[in-house]
Amino acid sequence: MKMHDLIFSSNRTQRIERHFLFWLVIYAYHFIRSTFLYPPNTKISVFINHVGVGSFEWGVLINMFISYTTVYYLIPKLFQKKKYVLFALSELTVFFLAFLMLSALVIISGPVTRSAIGATAQHPYLFIFKASAIRTLGNPPFICALLLSLKTVKNWHLKQIENETLTKEKANAELQLLKAQIHPHFLFNTLNNIYSFTLTKSPLAAELVQKLSDMLNYMITDCEQMMVPLEKEIHLLKDYIGLEKVRYGDRLDIQMHINGDYDNIMIVPLLMIPFVENCFKHGASMMRGKQWMHLIINTHENDLEFNLSNSKPVLQIVDKNKKGIGLLNVRKRLSLLYPGKHQLDINSTDNTFSVHLKIVLQKQAISNTKQNFIPVYEQKILKPNMKFKT
């Protein structure tokens, strides 16, 4: 983690360390390169003075001037603002100033250094300018490009982290909206059921109110969490189906089978209830005579299989004002919270509607404190498969 912070962190101390390390490498490169220019019998004092100091002046200071001026000023202030002509002129000016500084350094460096770089002849200043021009157009553009590349990679990495954070925040915000939409939609249908019994003063109304009370308690308390025990979610399904069974009586054949051990298994709340609700809303409530609904939930380790099928009218009346937020929401929630870890198949025939859902769930228990993050699931991946057949 220390190396990662050194490379990508925006902390001031680590930025200084990162730049110091970069220029230390550049200095070492010029120092090693300069050692081959001087003859073996060069005095050690002369060698340290000319190679050590010269490598810093020519290899570091000049390159720092060109690189920092270009990368941190000219590119953001001119090039990125599409002032290309002014950028080109400014860049030429920077290199010309670097050429003058190198020429001055060569002149004051003394005959030993000038001899080492080949700046001696009948016209010494011509060779001085030639040597300065070679060193201005040789390493500095490469080092400047290297610094720019490292800065670009760092900015790209930080942008990726920022985008991932924004994506998670957006997903959490959308999930809260989806849950808020489910609550009133769910309660509206349930209260309609109870209302029908209160009109006839049926004693079953009290039983329905008790079941509704249990469901409301679950939605108000547990559903505020990102994850809930699967056992509570199944209990919610049983209460809801119990409400509908009382309402429809003998004309609705309901079969519900729960298989497997689901202790300590966690699931996103209100994930399965829209499918069950859809059975009654678009199936039993729109048909006369005998109807049926079969629900099978199987759990094995941390795998959940949800199979639901129900009868449906051959001809359905479509309300254009209703957009079916229940199934739409559950699709979105699955894609946000179980990416690559779920399979959903919804099949509709002339007289049958069926749902097959398979999810890789989280098995370990989670704290009851409110969490504001997308959970990280076990590394068991299912190939995403979402189909809608008619």
List, as own/partner pairs, every contact residues 197-201 make where C-beta atoms lie below 8 angstroms and the sequence separation is at least 24, other chains included. Answer: 197/246, 197/247
Inside any domain, residue 278: yes
What pLDDT, on a 0 to 100 scale, did the predictor assign at position 124? Answer: 58
What pLDDT, on a 0 to 100 scale, did the predictor assign at position 70? Answer: 92
Stated pTM of the model: 0.53
The CA distance from 328 to 56, in Å, is 65
Block means of pLDDT (10 residues each) for the chain, 390 residues, are 69 84 88 72 66 79 91 91 92 91 76 60 62 80 90 87 80 67 67 79 78 83 84 90 79 89 86 85 60 92 92 60 62 85 91 92 57 37 40
How buried is 262 (Cβ within 10 angstroms: 0-12 exposed, 13-18 middle, 19+ buried)? buried
Residues 186 and 39 both lie in one domain:
no
CATH number at residue 266: 3.30.565.10
Residues 246 and 342 both lie in one domain:
yes
Residues spanned by the domain of 247: 169-389
What pLDDT, on a 0 to 100 scale, did the predictor assign at position 166? Answer: 83
Residues 204 and 327 both lie in one domain:
yes
Residues 24 and 117 both lie in one domain:
yes
What pLDDT, on a 0 to 100 scale, did the predictor assign at position 230? Answer: 92
* Helical packing angle, 124-137 and 84-108, nearest 10°: 130
Cα separation of the two ends of the chain: 52
What pLDDT, on a 0 to 100 scale, did the predictor assign at position 366? Answer: 44
The CA distance from 35 to 341, in Å, is 60
Number of domains in the chain: 2
The CA distance from 120 to 117, in Å, is 9
Inside any domain, residue 313: yes
